[in-house]
Structure 1
């Protein structure tokens, strides 16, 4: 019996997952016309249509969906095992994909990678900035970074930062024109730089706590951003009060470029954790990364 060639099956699975011949061709590194012919040859070989093609989209037929659900996971397992075998070489190697917010990527991941990567040139790390609570299994990430209180119970979590807290800051020029807020409620009369995260949908409410009393204040202002750098820049320009991680503004406060208010209302909370599925194989490259990131008091 002649040996089966599964290239056409891989082509079909890729097109079905991507929902596009153009995207699948780019992912596989082939031309769109060649990919289309490969899938058509598979359909002719088994005598059934697997994809419904329109000018705008590509989707599996009932038969195609069945094949995708049965064969797709098996090919993923094979690819995973091949990657695991490659990583068993004497020199740690392989690509690690991590999803994280902007702050931990800058303050925790970048310094650790600066020390790790020059020593291990065959280790590659891809970091995707995402404020959403990403499903790392579904999105095929090796790991994610979240605050300790946000890590799901079925994940392995490794602490990678100390406890942290937020800071409310403004420039000297801003406070020349506005009084200092004495309580979090006073912020409602200030020009505050708002934050919008995908996980919240609406504007993020600034969180405070003092003597066991918790407050969430929905502030107002002329500016809204979804990243740290622009909020910090706006605060330095005197455009409003900003709510930022303490480590990002401590040097600026010490230099007198920013003034901190409501410090007694900003307690510490659990820091960042690297999390990953229980069933993930601990490759040498991944183990190195975990050890490099692990927080040591």
Structure 2
């Protein structure tokens, strides 16, 4: 028998002061209980019970062991009982990862809704524009564009396709001219995004009369943050390829100018994603339910082209 099984036998006999009653409670034979207690005594070289034909009582060694083991086992049982609340009521802590440009959706819409409905769920939010390995980095779920979600993840669509634009400051176009076609971009100064972990520069998705294609312009300037890329573009340092959600105000006020709009297709929208094995956790079911409701109400849709 394992040490835990021997402890269960000892505690049952100590509680009932009877091998027979202990056996009945544990669903084993009295012989098995007797053998287990003898094994425990032999293992530690002490006598734990005084046995007579009419009674069973604890020795001093047995009473001392009981005084230590009983509170410890009670605490363990309380810990396992506490797990039941995770089955009945969503509780615990959710660690979420989202891109910086879209983090406001989490803070403005999703978290307040979750906190109101499930006050026993806590949040640990991380904003990171790079690709994140949820399992390796200890996250419960992430929010990313669809093309960035690994195929082995469960993915829930949160909104409509995301609009992107090719933009630069008016002063840049005044100095370098305005591109008239997608491949003209190869002659311009590009401000590129670089993934933090891999160092990869994602290409720009464009389209022409032959369909969609990937363009890999120069990389005179790179940054791993879309806000910084937008700031560099506003300073007139080059052309950038950015989501409209990042630059909507700049476009409205003329700090940035959109070009080649008909050559920039919308990309997949945002998705909530998480490992398949975690989808049955109450806290994850609650997250999916609330995110799905927000998506159905259109509250997680991003800024449209204007």
Q: Which TM-score applies when normalising by structure 2?
A: 0.62
Pairing of 1:41-120 with structure 2 (within 5 A):
85-88=84-87, 92-106=90-104, 108-113=105-110, 115-116=112-113, 119=116, 120=118
Query: Residues 182 and 288 from structure 1, CA distance in 2 versus in 1: closer, same or farther, beyond 3 angstroms?
Result: same
CA-atom RMSD, angstroms?
3.0
Cα deviation, residue 229, structure 1: 0.9
More helix by share: 2
Question: 1:109–1:293: 8 Å Cα contact kept in structure 2?
Answer: no
Q: Any stretches of 5+ residues in structure 2 without a counterpart?
A: 6-78, 299-306
Q: Any stretches of 5+ residues in structure 1 without a counterpart?
A: 5-79
Query: Residues 123 and 261 from structure 1, CA distance in 2 versus in 1: closer, same or farther, beyond 3 angstroms?
Result: same
Cα deviation, residue 137, structure 1: 2.9
Pairing of 1:245-284 with structure 2 (within 5 A):
245-284=243-282
Query: Residues 220 and 247 from structure 1, CA distance in 2 versus in 1: closer, same or farther, beyond 3 angstroms?
Result: same
Q: Which TM-score applies when normalising by structure 1?
A: 0.64
Question: 2:115–2:121: 8 Å Cα contact kept in structure 1?
Answer: no
Aligned to 1:196: 194
Query: Residues 191 and 233 from structure 1, CA distance in 2 versus in 1: closer, same or farther, beyond 3 angstroms?
Result: same
Query: Residues 131 and 257 from structure 1, CA distance in 2 versus in 1: closer, same or farther, beyond 3 angstroms?
Result: closer
Query: Residues 273 and 241 from structure 1, CA distance in 2 versus in 1: closer, same or farther, beyond 3 angstroms?
Result: same
Cα deviation, residue 101, structure 1: 2.6
Larger CA deviation: 127-136 vs 170-179: 127-136
Query: Residues 144 and 235 from structure 1, CA distance in 2 versus in 1: closer, same or farther, beyond 3 angstroms?
Result: same
Pairing of 1:139-150 with structure 2 (within 5 A):
139-150=137-148
Cα deviation, residue 208, structure 1: 0.7
Structure-2 separation of matches of 1:84 and 1:172: 60
Structure-1 separation of matches of 2:157 and 2:129: 19
Question: 2:233–2:239: 8 Å Cα contact kept in structure 1?
Answer: yes
Structure-1 separation of matches of 2:145 and 2:223: 21
Residues matched between the structures, number: 220
> Is the radius of gyration larger for structure 1 or structure 2?
2
Cα deviation, residue 194, structure 1: 1.6
